[in-house]
Structure 1
């Protein structure tokens, strides 16, 4: 079995796009995990699979490099939108994910914007394992939680450089409070319109950036009254803009760039 792929990144947040329009979806947990292996596969923070859809340009499904699935990926959604907009010459396109129909558009400066949908704020929807106020979780550091189709837990800190993300991230990711695990953010507020963000990504480790995590961190900061409704989110790999009026959809805007394309030939796995 073989299929074509395209490797892309958004401020260093790398992802792979597999276009299976007109074909059966061949991707399963084992293949996604093998593709995600940075030593024996292609390597990515997320995999986006494009397939046929009746009510949108494509349907997208997302995979983590550990073979788990996720419902939202802002970076890869922007990358697929970039690909579709170049194909059609249009300035907007609608894609379907498990979050529903998402409108994507090309901005005049060449950046890609995605309507990421409304955040989920109730404890059952994040989900949290017990009834809590998601604005102030019962954990040391009193983080805030929300969901953008995947769970997010945000800590607001005075000095981001003093945080050991590699040590604290996996501990919070797998905390019993989060039955589906969680993305973990550490945020230093630089001003009401700018934050510095470092991430421990559920199923992935420390990325240079993340679209959905940028959205979750900004939403949680706005809910805490720390941020205005338009926020520049500075990650290790670069900056995106997140807008949220406190009630409606979250809008994510940022760059995407192609890296390379190729063909994956699926052979027998030594570990399968």
Structure 2
């Protein structure tokens, strides 16, 4: 049963041959970061909704600042990839340059981040499914647990096999998002872009717009940066030349992430999405429904 679920056990000498291409590497290591665009914009809008929908336009400059931070992180991790060709995440870099204390802090933060990434990404994925198929809404917890079990089993089969499995949904997601954005901006350029027709309207505000609220919106939007470090941790999984392949994969991932994030944020403002705590329909679902209709 174990071999059936997890695959054949590999001998130690076989490990060096379990390498992956840049195409598969993007699916394995970038799926975390790329999937975050599905909920990063929504998290910004939810925070801004406390001050009122009139301030949703501030999500665009917030997104631009976050993309600026993404550029800094990308440059930093690209340098790390070449400086630590054996794999160099926050823990190793902090240990070598700052000592054990900062390294342990970085390691603990990463472990916490990985746990939260699973919970948030799965929750977001289930929310997207429930938005498309409302009948699933009462079974969100069961569906989330089933997906976690599935992803766990696939990952335990190893990087090479999991990469092949994850490549299909990852590239399907990227192509779908880019196609939706292209179609949305084409509609805007032709004047045919509609606005969201939602029954979920949040008119009441709970607080005024303050610097602290903007900082909270920025912090929530930084979920878009989740997983940027993954490639620098997995350099040894790439084919030779490992550092160059990993660095190129990092650049492609960051470019896709930046384009999709700012595209979703701008388009969400143009179609006047509705966002707030407790809403059943996600921002991505509202955009897709407005562009493609419900038939």
* Short-chain TM bin: under 0.3
TM-score by length of structure 1 reads: 0.25
TM-score by length of structure 2 reads: 0.23
Higher strand share: 1
Compare CA radii of gyration and give the structure with the larger one.
2
Higher helix share: 2
